[in-house]
Amino acid sequence: MDTTIKQSLKEIVGAENFTDSLIDLIAYSKDASEHRHRPDAAVWPVNTGQVSAIMKLASREKLPIVPRGAGTSLAGLAVPEQGGIILDLGRMDKIIDINIEDRLAVVQPGVVYADLDRALSPHGFFFPPDPASGSVCTLGGNVATNAGGIKGAKYGTTKDYVLALEVVLPDGRILHTGSKCMKSVSGYDLTRLFVGSEGTLGVVTEITFKINPKPPLVSTSMANFETLEDAGRAVSEIMYSGIIPSALEVIDQQTLIAINQNTDLNLPEVEALLVAETDGYTREETEFQMAKIVSIFKKNNATTTRQADSKEEAEALWTARKSAYGVLARINNNLIVEDLAVPMSKVPDMLRAISELSKKHNLRIPTVGHAGDGNLHPVICFDGTNADEVKRVEEASAELFEKVIELGGTLTGEHGIGLAKVPFMGLEHDEISMDIMRSIKRLFDPNNILNPRKMGLEE
Ligand SMILES: Cc1cc2nc3c(=O)[nH]c(=O)nc-3n(C[C@H](O)[C@H](O)[C@H](O)COP(=O)(O)OP(=O)(O)OC[C@H]3O[C@@H](n4cnc5c(N)ncnc54)[C@H](O)[C@@H]3O)c2cc1C
C-alpha cells in the first residue's frame, strides 16, 4: 500500500488508531476459520464520521476494505482475502441508550454481546440470540452474520431484533434504515438487507435492537440415547408437541468424550445426549413444559433422563456445551466447523448421514447443534499437514452439502457463507437468485471494495 494512502488514513483516525506493524497484520490475517490472508493496514475508527472518511478514501483509491468485529467468524468472513484495509470497529463500543419504556437498546457496533446482556440484566431484560461466542463477539458482527444461538427455536435470531441501523455505504454516504417502532412497513426493508450481509454492502455504525423481558425461571434436563435416530426423533416430536423449549441441544458421542477429557463433568458417553431448557414466570409453568419434554424423551427410548438439581448444575451443563468448540480446537490440529440447517423432521436423517460420512472418509466429525431449530454443527477434525486427510475432508464436505440440499436444508444456519462455502452456493441458489444478489452488490458497491470475494458474489 502506497505511503500516501497510509498517511491519509493516519490523518483520518490519528496515528494511534492506525497500524501497519507486522505483528498486528498477522493477527488480522485470520479469524476463527482455517482461512488466512494478510491485510496491508488496519484502522480503529472511533466515530461514524471517520468511517465515512475512510470509505471515501477506499472508494477513490479502489482499495479492498474489510469491516471487523472480534474476528470470531468460523467461515472466513473477516479474512481480507484481497489485502487492503481492516476496519476494526472494536473501539466504537458504547451502549448509547437502554430505553425500557420503548423496549429498545441503541448500541455502537463494537459492543460485545455479553456486555449488552449484562447491562440489560438489572432491568429484567435480555437480548436473546445468545451465540456461544457471546463473551467476545461484537454486536456489529452479530448483525452482519445474523448470529443465532441456543435460544433460536423459541426466540429467533439477530434478524428478529434489529429495528434500525446506521450504515456507512462504500462511497462514504451515511444511510439510516428502519425506525424505533415495533412495527413498520414503510418502504423496502433495507434493515433486513444488511442483516446477514457479511459486511459486503455497508459498515454498520449504530444498531437499534428490540429487547425482551427475561423469564426469571428455567428448568433444565438431559437425556441419554443409544442411537442418533432416537435422539433425532425425540427432537422432532418435541418441536411439534405444542411446547417450545427455550433451548434444545444435541451433543454426540465424540464431543462428549472430548468434553469429558477436558472438564470434570463426567457426562455419559452415549451416542447422543439431548439437553433441554424451558423457561417461564412460575415453577409450575417451567415444570409443566419440562414434564412433557421428558415424557417424549422416554417415549423415544431415552435410557436415562435427569433434571439439573441446581442452577449451578444447569449452568455447568450449558458452559460445557458452549465450550465444545474450544475443547475440540485444543485437541485437534485443524477444524472445520460446519453449520448446516435442515427442516426439523430431517434432523434424524442428517445426524445419520454425518455419522456415515465420518465412517466412509475415516474422519472424526463430532457434532453438536441447536437441534431445536434444525441447525447442526458437524466439526470436521483433521491434520492440515496430511495431504491425504485434507483430500478426504474436501470430499466429505462436498458430500455433506449435497446431502443437506437433498434434505431440503441450507448451507448455513448462522455462521454465513464467507470464503468457506463459496464453491457450494450454486447447490442452494439458482442462477436467478445469484444474479439478483450480484445486482444488489453492484448497486451498493460498484467498485467491489467492501469485503470482496465473500458469499460467491463475483462472476
Ligand atoms: C467458539 C465459537 C462459538 C461460536 N458460536 C456461535 C453461535 O452460537 N452462533 C453464531 O451465530 N455464531 C457463532 N460463532 C461465530 C461468530 O462468533 C459469529 O458469526 C459472530 O456473529 C461474529 O462476530 P464478530 O464480532 O467476531 O465478527 P467478525 O468475525 O469480526 O466478522 C464477521 C463478519 O461480520 C462483518 N462485520 C463485523 N462488524 C461489522 C460491522 N460493524 N459492519 C459491517 N460488517 C461487519 C465482517 O466483515 C465479517 O464479514 C462462534 C464462533 C466461535 C469461535
CATH of the domain at 107: 3.30.465.10
Q: How many domains does the chain have?
A: 3
Flag whether 311 is in a domain.
yes
Flag whether 367 is in a domain.
no
Let me know whether 175 and 99 are in one domain: yes
Q: List helix spans (H) across 300-386.
A: 311-322, 324-331, 347-360
Of 160, 192, 213, the residue that ends a domain is 213
Element spanning 141, H or E: helix 139-145
CATH number, domain of 61, equals 3.30.43.10
Let me know whether 140 and 166 are in one domain: yes
pLDDT of residue 223: 95
- Provide the Cα torsion 339, 343, 348, 354; round to 10°: -30
Mean pLDDT calculated for residue range 411-437: 96
Report residue 232 as a C-alpha cell: 433425532
Owning domain of residue 79? 3-90
Let me know whether 120 and 196 are in one domain: yes
Flag whether 14 is in a domain.
yes
> How many whole angstroms from 417 Cα to the centroid of ligand 1?
12
Confirm or reject: Cβ of 147 under 6 Å from ligand 1. yes
Let me know whether 179 and 286 are in one domain: no
CATH number, domain of 230, equals 3.30.70.2190
Please state, in angstroms and rounded to a whole number, the distance separating the CA atoms of residues 307 and 230: 19
Let me know whether 102 and 124 are in one domain: yes
Confirm or reject: Cβ of 74 under 6 Å from ligand 1. yes
Residue 265 has pLDDT above 90, yes or no: no
Let me know whether 270 and 300 are in one domain: yes
- Ligand 1, atom 14, lies closest to the CA of 133
Residue to mutate (ligand 1; options 36, 48, 68; most atoms within 8 A of CB): 68
Please state, in angstroms and rounded to a whole number, the distance separating the CA atoms of residues 230 and 239: 14
295-332, pLDDT tens digit by residue? Answer: 999 999 999 998 988 888 888 888 878 788 888 888 88
Of 172, 194, 213, the residue that ends a domain is 213
- Provide the Cα torsion 263, 133, 370, 250; round to 10°: -10
Query: What distances in angstroms separate CA 378 from CA 82, 83, 252, 267, 274, one per listed residue?
Result: 29, 30, 10, 19, 16
Let me know whether 226 and 260 are in one domain: yes
Residue 201 has pLDDT above 90, yes or no: yes
Q: Where are the beta strands (DSSP E) in 64-120?
A: 65-68, 85-88, 95-99, 104-107
Give the confidence band of 261 by pLDDT, cuts at 50, 70, 90.
confident
| β-sheet bridge partners, residue 378 | 367
241-254, pLDDT tens digit by residue? Answer: 999 999 999 999 98
384-412, pLDDT tens digit by residue? Answer: 999 999 999 999 999 999 999 999 999 99
- Ligand 1, atom 36, lies closest to the CA of 141
Flag whether 403 is in a domain.
no
Please state, in angstroms and rounded to a whole number, the distance separating the CA atoms of residues 248 and 152: 9
Report residue 444 as a C-alpha cell: 451498493
Please state, in angstroms and rounded to a whole number, the distance separating the CA atoms of residues 82 and 43: 17
Flag whether 340 is in a domain.
no
Let me know whether 139 and 99 are in one domain: yes
Residue to mutate (ligand 1; options 133, 174, 454; most atoms within 8 A of CB): 133
Flag whether 137 is in a domain.
yes
